[in-house]
A and B are shown apart, each in its own frame.
Chain A
Amino acid sequence: MRKLSLENLNLAFASIAAKYPLYLPQDNSAGDAEYKKWEQGAKWSDKTNTVKSPKDFFFPQTEDLMAFQVSGKSIDIIDTRKESEDFVVFGVRACDVKSFEVLDNVFLTEPADSYYASRREHGIIVSVACTRPLETCFCKAFSIDPSEPAGDVSCYKTDDSLYLSANTEKGEALLAVISEYTEEADDAAVSKQKESINKIMDRLPLASLTPASFGGGKTKEFFDAPEWKSLSEACLGCGTCTFVCPTCQCYDIKDFKTGSGVIRYRCWDSCMYSEFTKMSAGQPRTSQLERFRQRFMHKLVYYPENNNGLFSCVGCGRCLSRCPIHMNIVKVMKALGGKKDE
């Protein structure tokens, strides 16, 4: 366990940034936190959550896959990929770290997505324990411990210091970069913090939430549940939940005609959209109820079915705070029987 005095935090950031592009949550003009590249003077946000999750670093909202150059009547295919460099994502919460595992299952299973794989390979994740979970947090429901964040480096922020420990070789290498500002420390302060986090976790309003009744093989049980109707009734069909979600991984591949050629790119798509997975024969899910159901069935039933019981939700609470009509996975789980018997 290494200790970094918060007084030296900026110096440490500076030395990381000298070596790698460093991204960390910073407050924006709207009063929210968002991941931005560190520049001298940047301040690490105190907010528990960023609006968009850090999945953007590995699976960006839009990404060029390739391009076609048209000259006369001939077409050249151009590889638009650039040589990737290592980069650091700093201040990732335990839930978001867990989300990478969910994404890995999708993108790194053969045939692996080389675009995603390359980014994952080059990304160094520095996680941080949550000291102020929000009322919307329910990571515990998915067995995530916010006091034990994973990642290449885990850290704990106290009033005066940052305690860091490397979990991987990449993490070791990163800590070496800032070793001049850190010193060896015992884990007393960290243990204390873990204890207090756990106490708060038990007091959270959603502490009792559990996905126990969901999971692989439950398709028949939930698919025709009458509750879907009232749950989906008010859904606007926008993509807010999907786009702030750290685990949603659906995308569309589209061609953009530039005039002299075509850029083939992929961009996030949302199963809530009426155009989602539209094919020549039309959409497979024609009503908002079906689309709404798809999203939650996928997170709670289909995904676990294909991934050894792992749910495709990490309880970060972003959809709870951002949905325009306040419909979310918690309400769905509760309505369909996800509440522990008290």
Chain B
Amino acid sequence: MQKVTAKTLSGKAASLLNAGEVKYVLGWKKGEFDYDITPALFESAEELEKDFVWNDFSCANLSKYLIKYTRSLSGKILVFLKPCDTFSFNQLLTEHRIDRQKVYAVGVPCSGMADEKKIRENADGITAISETEEGYLVHTLYSDAPAFISKEEALLEKCLSCKGWAHIALDEQIEGEVFAPSADRFDQVKALENMTPDERYHFWQNELSRCIRCNACRDVCPACTCEKCVFDNPNSGVENKAAANSFEEKMFHIIRAFHVAGRCTDCGECSRVCPQKIPLHLLNRKFINDIDSFYGEYQAGLDEGSRAPLVDYDTGDLEPSQVFDWRDGQNA
């Protein structure tokens, strides 16, 4: 359950709309069920009143939409940014993808988001989900009593290692406490590193074999903002529409992770939207962990204008030939 209420946010947005300070509000719109929330653009207080939602399912990172809206819309756009979203926002500003003048950024403290997939995995025919302090009561067609799932169990993967706020100049900051993380985000990466190459190979072979190349991971990613992706471009030499075989699956995911390496803020949207539940964040986190340990800690999007590690270098950088021995030493 979010400590900040939807009313606070929609009220704030409505008053700015009415005052003419902003012309549009980018937020979350309620859906058919309690969990299927859609990012949406609101243009009036009435629309906000009717459809605006802010709850544990308002996971979607809205910052990428600002690229399109700051280009196509003429008025100022209010956007709600959760702490994790501020990193993406900063990174997009760094890469000149957003016209900051056109954005009214409101920081929303977040108490942790719920993973709809985790809740639905064990509940068929959900009719309602009610949020409580401790977790969620899931009402279904098949049971009279609602099933309880605790907040911890249902927590979205990325929230387990919440980064808090980026260093950012927001136009407005809603007061409130931010969810405190409990996990080391590199645990799984290190566990994989400690496996044998065969185990790692089979792990990824199994995960990536499910890929259907729907491109949802790419299309949702706030770092994937190319005008045209190399995988869509027949002239790039690597264009491919389908995950035809295990090579194409790996090619796509390695290159995608490489292209966002150093720019990925670890917002976790790729894994969240994957229809096949492939833990794509483990590829991005691998790069982040390597960058942190080889070249010093770097958090993309923490500061606007910071220089990404792959467009930077140090004369004393680790040699590619030393990488494995060095890391084995670190992990031992």
Q: What residues of chain A have their CB less than 8 Å away from a CB belonging to chain B? A: 28-32, 34, 48, 51-52, 61-62, 132-135, 200, 203-206, 230, 233-234, 236-240, 242-244, 252, 254, 256, 265, 267-270, 273-275, 320-322, 324-327, 330-331
Contacts and interface: CB of A to CB of B under 8 A. Distances in A.
Nearest to A206: B32
Contacts of B65: 234
Contact of B121 (A31, A34, A324, A330): A31
B33 A205 contact: yes
B241 A252 contact: yes
Instruction: Please name the 3 residue pairs, one residue from A and one from B, whose CB atoms are nearest each other, closest first.
Output: A324-B273, A267-B242, A326-B36
B241 A243 contact: no
Interface string B109-127: 0000000000011001111
Interface of B: 31-33, 36-41, 60, 65, 120-121, 124-127, 141-142, 206-207, 210, 212-216, 218-220, 232, 241-244, 272-273, 275-278
B38 A134 contact: no
B220 A132 contact: no
Contacts of B31: 326, 331
Contacts of A237: 219
A240 B241 CA distance: 13
Interface of A is mostly: loop
B232 A265 contact: no
A288 to B, nearest CB: 9
Contacts of A62: 242-244
Given A203-B141, A244-B275, 13 more contacts: A30-B277, A132-B125, A135-B126, A234-B65, A236-B220, A238-B216, A240-B216, A254-B241, A256-B244, A273-B232, A320-B36, A322-B275, A331-B31
Contacts of A29: 206-207
Given A325-B38, A331-B32, A132 B232 contact: no
B125 A204 contact: yes
B141 A135 contact: yes
A243 B212 contact: yes
B244 A267 contact: yes
A205 B127 contact: yes
B219 A238 contact: yes
A29 B278 CA distance: 10
A267 B277 CA distance: 22
5 contacts: A61-B243, A204-B125, A234-B38, A256-B244, A327-B38
Contacts of A230: 40-41
Q: Which of B38, B40, B121 has the most CB of A within 10 A?
A: B38
Nearest to B233: A275
Contacts of A204: 125, 141
A320 B38 CA distance: 12
Q: Which of A34, A200, A203, A321 has the most CB of B within 10 A?
A: A321
Contacts of A269: 241
B22 to A, nearest CB: 17
Given A135-B126, A200-B141, A230-B41, A239 B213 contact: yes
